[in-house]
């Protein structure tokens, strides 16, 4: 199997085999991200992808889960994706899940009929970066996405039957826009109701535009207390059931589970950290690179 450049997958996909289907990210302008700064976006030749799939079959006698990388795999043509998914289902009939990265704008650029065709070919779920529901924050991080785009993209995914995990970042509004960031993010989550969510605490990645903004004083990092209070607000105000992947390594209080079942436990954990954890009084959040 062949991989080009840095390789990333979501932490819930730790046991999945990775098939590199695209190179890089079709957006690649987000100020907080350096994941794909080492390559230009490209759709891999399908014969090369097929060879990797065949090699994976030779390497693994049993495969339960498959994840397609790099970023924005959904940006590829529908015909191409259907061929890759058909090949995966034929090669790994035992696999119970096939997932990929998809920008929310990638959903918007396909018709519901195309998305259904992709789902019927074997796609089970997608991971999409929401980052924030706040229009101002989205503009600042150069996400090339608006709240309206999020709503439209999620509506198409739901109509097509594609399960979606939305990830977002506590603290991305910085010290001065924490409240607006979490209120708008919670509101947008309540409107779109993704099947899964993955909140994580902000970590400044080396070499990013955001790192330079921090160094120049243009972006002031949130305090740990603000990050904890953002999660507290989310837990108190989110009003639908979803699976809560709150156990990213940077989260101040790692926790996961069905949201409505565990909401009170999650909230108690956060409130205890706010009240009793001396780190909550620190002026700067302490997190680490992805």
pLDDT digits (tens, 9 = 90+) for 18-60: 999 999 999 999 999 999 988 999 999 999 999 999 999 999 9
**Residue 142 burial (10 A CB sphere; 0-12, 13-18, 19+):** middle
- Total count of residues recorded for the chain: 290
Question: What is the band of 1 on the pLDDT scale with cuts at 50, 70, 90?
Answer: confident
pLDDT over threshold 80, residue 186: yes
CB 162 within 8 Å of CB 115 = yes
Residue pLDDT, tens place only, 159-181: 999 999 999 999 999 999 999 99
Q: pLDDT for 76-110, tens place per residue?
A: 999 999 999 999 999 999 999 999 999 999 999 99
**pLDDT at 256 exceeding the cut of 90:** yes
* Structure-token pair, residue 133: 């529901």
Residue 284 β-bridge partners: none
pLDDT value of position 285:
65
pLDDT recorded at residue 279: 64
Give the CATH superfamily of 11-281. Aldolase class I (3.20.20.70)
Given a cut of 60, is residue 283 above it in pLDDT? no
* Per-residue pLDDT band at 289 (split at 50, 70, 90): low
Work out the pLDDT band at 288, boundaries 50, 70, 90: low
| 3-class SS string, 124-190 | CEEEEEEECCCHHHHHHCCCCCCHHHHHHHHHHHHHHCCEEEEEEEECCCCCCCHHHHHHHHHHHHH
Instruction: Give domain limits for the chain.
Output: 11-281
Mean pLDDT throughout 56-66?
Answer: 97
Q: What is the mean pLDDT of the chain?
A: 95
Does residue 277 register a pLDDT over 80?
no
Q: pLDDT band for 276, please (50, 70, 90 cuts).
A: confident
Q: State residue 278's pLDDT score.
A: 63
Average pLDDT over residues 126-142: 98
pLDDT at 281: 63
Using the predicted structure, report yes or no on whether residue 217 has a pLDDT greater than 60: yes
What tokens does 82 get? Answer: 């259907």
Q: Using H for helix, E for strand and C for coil, what is the string for the chain?
A: CCCCCCCCCCHHHCCCEEEECEECCCCCCCCCCCCCCCCCCEECCHHHHHHHHHHHHHHCCCCCEEEEECCCHHHCCHHHHHHHHHHHHHHCCCCCEEEEECCHHHHHCCCHHHHHHHHHHCCCEEEEEEECCCHHHHHHCCCCCCHHHHHHHHHHHHHHCCEEEEEEEECCCCCCCHHHHHHHHHHHHHHHCCCEEEEEECCCCCCCHHHHHHHCCCCCCCCHHHHHHHHHHHHHHCCCCCEEEECCCCCCCCEEEEHHHHHHHHHHHHHHHHHHCHHHHCCCCCCCCC
Using the predicted structure, report yes or no on whether residue 123 has a pLDDT greater than 60.
yes
Least confident of 2-11, 14-23, 66-75, 77-86: 2-11
């Amino acid at each position: 199997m062949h991989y080009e450049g840095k390789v990333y997958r979501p932490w819930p996909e730790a046991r999945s085999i990775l098939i590199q289907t695209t190179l890089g990210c079709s957006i690649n302008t987000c100020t907080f991200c350096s994941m794909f700064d080492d390559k230009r976006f490209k759709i891999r030749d399908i014969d090369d992808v097929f060879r990797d799939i065949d090699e994976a079959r030779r390497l693994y006698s049993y495969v339960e889960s498959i994840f397609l990388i790099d970023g924005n795999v959904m940006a590829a043509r529908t015909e191409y994706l259907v061929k890759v998914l058909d090949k995966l289902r034929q090669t790994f009939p035992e696999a119970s899940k096939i997932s990929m990265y998809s920008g929310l704008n990638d959903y918007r650029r396909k018709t519901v009929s195309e998305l259904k065709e992709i789902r019927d070919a074997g796609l089970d779920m997608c991971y999409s970066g929401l980052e924030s529901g706040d229009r101002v924050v989205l503009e600042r991080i150069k996400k090339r996405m608006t709240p309206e785009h999020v709503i439209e993209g999620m509506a198409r995914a739901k109509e097509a039957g594609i399960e979606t995990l939305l990830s977002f970042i506590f603290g991305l509004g910085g010290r001065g826009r924490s409240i607006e960031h979490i209120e708008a993010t919670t509101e947008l989550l309540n409107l779109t109701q993704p099947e899964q969510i993955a909140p994580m605490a902000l970590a400044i990645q080396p070499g990013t535009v955001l790192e330079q903004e921090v160094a120049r004083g243009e972006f002031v990092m949130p305090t740990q207390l603000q990050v904890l209070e953002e999660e507290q607000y989310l837990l108190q105000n989110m009003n639908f059931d979803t699976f809560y992947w709150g156990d990213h390594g940077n989260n101040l209080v790692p926790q996961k589970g069905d949201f409505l079942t565990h909401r009170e436990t999650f909230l108690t954990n956060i409130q205890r950290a706010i009240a009793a954890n001396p780190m909550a009084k620190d002026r700067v959040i302490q997190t680490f690179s992805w």
